[in-house]
Amino acid sequence: MQKSIFKKENELSIFCGIHLAVIIFSIGRQPILFGTPDVETIVQQFVEANHPIAPRFYMKMKKNEEEKKEKGKSIEDNITH
């Protein structure tokens, strides 16, 4: 089954002219990695791309939301006092 998944990944990568990574997690086993050109490069590009679900972007978004909440609280405090 893994072989057919990797074959389809490779075909899709070539057909669409894109980079793809497949990571299969299995209970109690090492993850199985396959990518075109390679998984590490693709994951690094993903993280650096500021993709909405990339960890760095997520943390930045979360920080901005917290700052907005704090700013809103301070405005409310000033109004009530």
| Domain-embedded: residue 45 | no
Query: Can you give the pLDDT at residue 56?
Result: 63
| Domain-embedded: residue 34 | yes
Q: Is the pTM for the entire model greater than 0.85?
A: no
Helix axis angle, 39-48 to 55-80, nearest 10°: 20
- Mean pLDDT is lowest, of 7-21, 23-37, 52-66, for 52-66
Domain count along the chain: 2
Higher model confidence: residue 72 or residue 10? 10
Query: Can you give the pLDDT at residue 42?
Result: 86
In terms of residues, how long is the chain?
81
| Domain-embedded: residue 25 | yes
| Domain-embedded: residue 44 | no
